Structures are given as C-alpha cells and as structure tokens.
Structure 1
Amino acid sequence: MKTPPLLRPGDEVILLSPASHPKSDQWRQGVEVLESWGLKVRLAPHALSHYFGFGGSDEERLSDFQLALDDPAIKAIFPIRGGYGSSRILDQLNFETFIKQPKWIIGFSDITAILNHVANLGIASIHGPMPHNFCQVGGDEALEMLRNLLFEGKTHIEIEADSDNRLGKAESILVGGNLSLIVHLIGSKSLPDFRGKILLLEDVGENLYHIDRMVLQLKRAGILDQLAGLIVGGFSDCKEAGLSVGKNVNQIMLEHTSGSQYPIAFEFPSGHIAQNFPLVFGKNIKLLVNANKVQLTD
C-alpha cells in the first residue's frame, strides 16, 4: 500500500465537486482554513457548476477529477462536499498517473466510493472533513487532527468507552465509510476486500429499518464474518419509522455480528457529525477497545 507524501507549506491543493454541488458559500471558509495552513488553493474549472443536484454534468465532474489526478503540481484533492454522484464517474477515471504519483484524497459520505476504489488500487486516502463543513461548530479538534495528519502523518485517538462496546484489540488496514455507499459498492470493483480488515461504518438520515436492511446485507454477503474489527461512527438522525424494528443502531450491529469475536467500538467520532475525526484508509492501524477507552494508533 502506497501512502501519499505529507503536505508542506506552499503545496498546491485543489477543490472540486465529484458528487453534489455546494449548497452554500461555506466552502469559502474551508479555503481560508487551507490557506491558513500555508497551502495554495486552486478551484477546479467546474467546482461550482450545477447540473440538477450534481456539481456539474458527469463529463464536467470527470474532467475536473482527471485533472486533479494527473496534474503533478496538485498535492491533495479536496471534494467540497458529498451528496451523490461520485460512483457515476469512477469507471471512466484513469488512475495510471495517480498510482505512480499518489496524492491525498480527503472526504467522507458519498466520497466513500472514491476512497475505497483507490484503496483497491493500493493507495491510502483520508476519511475526514471536507471544506463545506470545515467550520462546523464543535469541529475544531477534528480539523486540527486533519492538519496534523496531512502535515505530520500521525494518528493517535483516544475516546471514552461505550457500554455497548465489545472488548478486544486488532491491528489491520482500515476501510469502509458510509454504510449506504458500502452496500452500494457490493458487486463492483470498488468494493474493498474485507478479509482481516477493520471496518468503519457511519450514516445519516436513514430510517432504522433501512439500517437493519443494509447491515443484514453485509452479513448475508459474508462481509461481517471476515473482519478483524468494527468501528461504528455517527449514525446521525437515524430514527424509527412507521415500520419499526424495535432496535437502535448499536443493537442492530450487535445482532448481525453475533457469533464473531472481534472488537467493536461504538459512538466513534466519525461521519456526519461535527467531530468527524480523520482516519487513514488503506493503512495499518491498531485498535484497542477496553473497559475504559477506545484507542486508535498507527
């Protein structure tokens, strides 16, 4: 697995919209943050385009992302936001230059498709905050962690233990992201090999019976039986609907992982929440879950 070079002050990075278009000007605050880190920020030609709900047509979004992959001056790629649309352009992208000269891709939500696709190509990426939500109230720690990760390359996270956690430890490569997107990738070449991996899952705005259905799909596909560990991030605004399953997210996860022995960490600060801690996908990481804390270190 190749890890892209760390960033240095003066490096050029690019903002683009491979999924949905920005809903507001919040991304401009993201530019200010990146510039305060000493980075030069380029806006892709179609970064602010609208094509229905997308950040431009498929052709425009494809063109911007191909430019970002190929231009040697660009050292990191920041999708402005998620939404929907990344997987529509994945199969048309040419990653030959990117594989030879890897660079960081940072994002979450719909960007899950891209992160896992490049992990399959042997390149590490970062599941973490995007410029559209850099300045969320309460997200300062996550943003500082992202800066440290990009410039110094270290992961050291400790959080308090959750009462639903399953204790244990694991050391493996981290993969995953948005649950809806992981299920969406099943059967495609973008789906990672989960055997012996640590899986991160998060989601937003899904009814609990939808969550149950998707986690059950992971189980039926044999994915949940293959893991070395499971990290359950934020499941924001996921509520019971008219069709009730009688379980919360933690209970759904525990039911469908019953019989396995690997550690499970619940309520991890990752996903559609202010404290969206950045994590490196495609890189070996150590997970410790004990009675007092959850620890992630490289």
Structure 2
Amino acid sequence: MFSPLKKGDMIGIYSPSKPATVTAKARYERGKKRLEALGLIIREGSLTGKDDFYRSGTPKERAQEFNALLRDPQVKMILPTMGGTNANSMLPYLDYQAFRQNPKMLVGLSDVTAILLGMYAKTEIPVFYGPSVASTFGEFPPFVQYTQQYFKNLFMHSLPIPYDMPVPPIWTDDRLNWLEKTSEKTQHPNSWITAQSGVAEGRLIGGNINTMYGFIGTPFFPQIKEGDILLLEDTSKTIAVVEKNFTMLKLHGVFDKAAAIILGKHEQYDDLGTGRKPFEVLLEVLDGNNIPIIAEVDCCHTHPLHAIPIGLRIRVDASKKQISFLESWYS
C-alpha cells in the first residue's frame, strides 16, 4: 500500500481552509523546519503565501492546489498547513481517481476531516488523522518533541503489528505562544479515561464532529458499518454545542452501529459552569448504549498528538485504556 518515508522523500503541503502561511507564518515556518530536520523535502502548494481573507483561495483554487500534489509522483505524503472551516467546499472538485491510481499518505486533523473521509469514502484507501504543519509541528517543546517522535515511529519506520498507542506523560491545550514563545505552557500530567468498559475490534472511522456537520449524509461521507469503531473529537466548543453535535450523530444512526468509541481530548472546552466533561455528555446522549469508550485520548487538537489510521482495523480495550493498531499500512 505505502512505504515508510525516508530521508530525501518529498512531502506536499497545502492550505485547505485557513491561510496559515500568511496568518500564522512564524508557526508555519517553524513546523516546516522541523519536517526538514527529519531529512524530508517540502513541496509547498500553489496557495502558499496567499490568502482570501478567511481562506487561502476559492474552493476550486484550493482543490487545484491539493490535486497537483496528488498527481505529483514525487510526493509521498500530503500534509495540511492547518484546518479551518471550509474544507468541505473542496469535495466536489477533488481528483479521487488520482488518489486511487497513485495512493499517498494523507494526514491531517480538524477541518481536514472532510478531505480525509471524502477520499476514503470514494477510494477505501486508508488515511490518517494526525498532525498538520503549522498547528501541530509549529508547537513548542517539550510537547512537539513527543509529536515528532510519534510521527517518526509511524511514518518513517516499519510498523510492528499489533502496535499499542503510547500515552504521552504530559499534555497541554494552552493557547499561549501561538506564534512566538513568551512563557512556558502548563504541563498537565496525562491519563486516558475509561468512560465505559469493554473490548472491541473493528474498522476505525471518524474525526472532527463539527466538520462532519458539513457533509454527513452525502456521497462524500463513508457509510458507517456495523462494528465500526468511532473516533470523535472537537475543539473550542461549549457543552451546549457538544451535546448538539453528539445528538446529530445519534439521529443519523451512527451510534446504533458502533462497536466502540475513542473520544479525543477537547481543546479549550467550555463546560458553562456545569463541571461536566464531554464524555459525560456523550454517555447521556448514548442513553444506555453500553459500548466501550476511551476518553481523553491524545490524537486530536491538544499537544502532543499521536496519529491514528482511518479505515484500518484497531482494537479498543477500554477497561485497560489501551488502543492497538491491528493492520499495517505498509506493503
């Protein structure tokens, strides 16, 4: 399917939503240098250094940038600069056939959920919920050092199967120092949470819930199958929006088919004074559906970030708070 990245391999970078190469240039450049320090060659997309107010370009221009990287035989992996809000507007214009004929490792998170799930829905080629250049690799030590090591383990070496996801010793969701470092961020001691116990194996599907709102129920959204394991995460939402978003998935019948749920850490979550966590809201919405749930997993907007494969089989042992990859993406 794929082969591990090696020094001298090329990564393509594109801007599917926010114009991060303009609005977060220092952070973008920092992330790019970290990737280059791994020996990787960067090919910047055609919208690098460009912006159209809240976005990097029109839907067609953003799709053209992405498609050019898909069609480039030298590009082995494609990473976004960061997310935003409008990647779903690219979906009608993406070259799914090019991805099918010449698969590349597609990695990203947040709003990039639309592109990841759209490409998977049309091709059934695995994609990866993982880092972006500015928002993830542009982070400061010590958090980014863990993220970088996880990236090397997953994408620059042959993967031992089964592979158990590590739990980083620390984490943060501080919004300080977005561009330049002025003070130290809070280092929280880390642990995952057993929201509901149990064990399940199945195909991983999911991503950012707020992004799913923009294309669920369309041909670009993968069909949820009986026994799937759901990855769910969000950022900067109030508890009221969290309840609404979980309920949206329930009303679409998603929870009726799921065998387990991985709930990522929610960056900058606002409980509106309730003291209630996102997993507690999820349990209320599930209303007695007793599937295994691991919460507070480090695969989303917080730092460090560990990538996770969409479309491949994994094992969730919520009782032991353990997530294992059961399939390699390397041929």
User: Match of 1:62?
Assistant: 63
Map of 1:189-208 to 2, 5 A cutoff?
189-195=219-225, 196-208=227-239
Q: Which moved more, 1:111-120 or 1:25-34?
A: 25-34
Contact 1:12 1:41 in 2 (8 A): yes
2:123 is the alignment partner of 1:125: no
Q: Deviations over 1:127-167 (max 9, x none)?
A: 11111021423232122111221122534214486555211
Partner of 1:169: 199
Q: Any conservation in 2 of the 1:76–1:104 contact (CA below 8 Å)? A: yes
Please say if 1:21 is aligned against 2:19.
yes
Alignment of 1:247-262 (within 5 A): 247-262=276-291
- Going from structure 1 to structure 2, the CA distance change for 1:8 and 1:214 (only over 3 Å counts) comes to same
Provide structure 1 residue ranges, at least 5 long, that are not aligned to the other structure: none
Question: Match of 2:5?
Answer: 7
Give the secondary structure class of the aligned counterpart of 2:254: coil
Decide whether the 8 Å contact of 1:286 with 1:297 is kept in 2: yes
Q: Secondary structure at the match of 1:295?
A: strand
Other structure's SS at 1:77 match: strand
> Structure 2, unaligned stretches of length 5 or more?
168-189, 327-331
Which residue type is aligned with residue 130 of structure 1?
S
The alpha carbon displacement at 1:287 in A equals 1.5
Match of 2:139 among 124, 136, 141: 136
State the alpha-carbon separation in 1 of the partners of residues 195 and 83 from structure 2. 29
For 2:217, give the aligned amino acid: G
Give the count of matched residue pairs.
293
CA contact (8 A) 1:287 1:297 kept: no
CA distance in 1, matches of 2:13, 2:109: 14
Q: Tell me the percent identity.
A: 26
Q: State the TM-score, normalizing by the size of structure 1.
A: 0.92
Distance apart, 1:57 and its partner CA: 2.4
Aligned CA RMSD, in angstroms, stands at 1.9
- The question of 1:150 aligning with 2:155 is answered yes
Q: Does 1:216 align with 2:247?
A: yes
Cα deviation code 1:176-220 (max 9, x no counterpart): 111101232221122222222111111111111111011111111
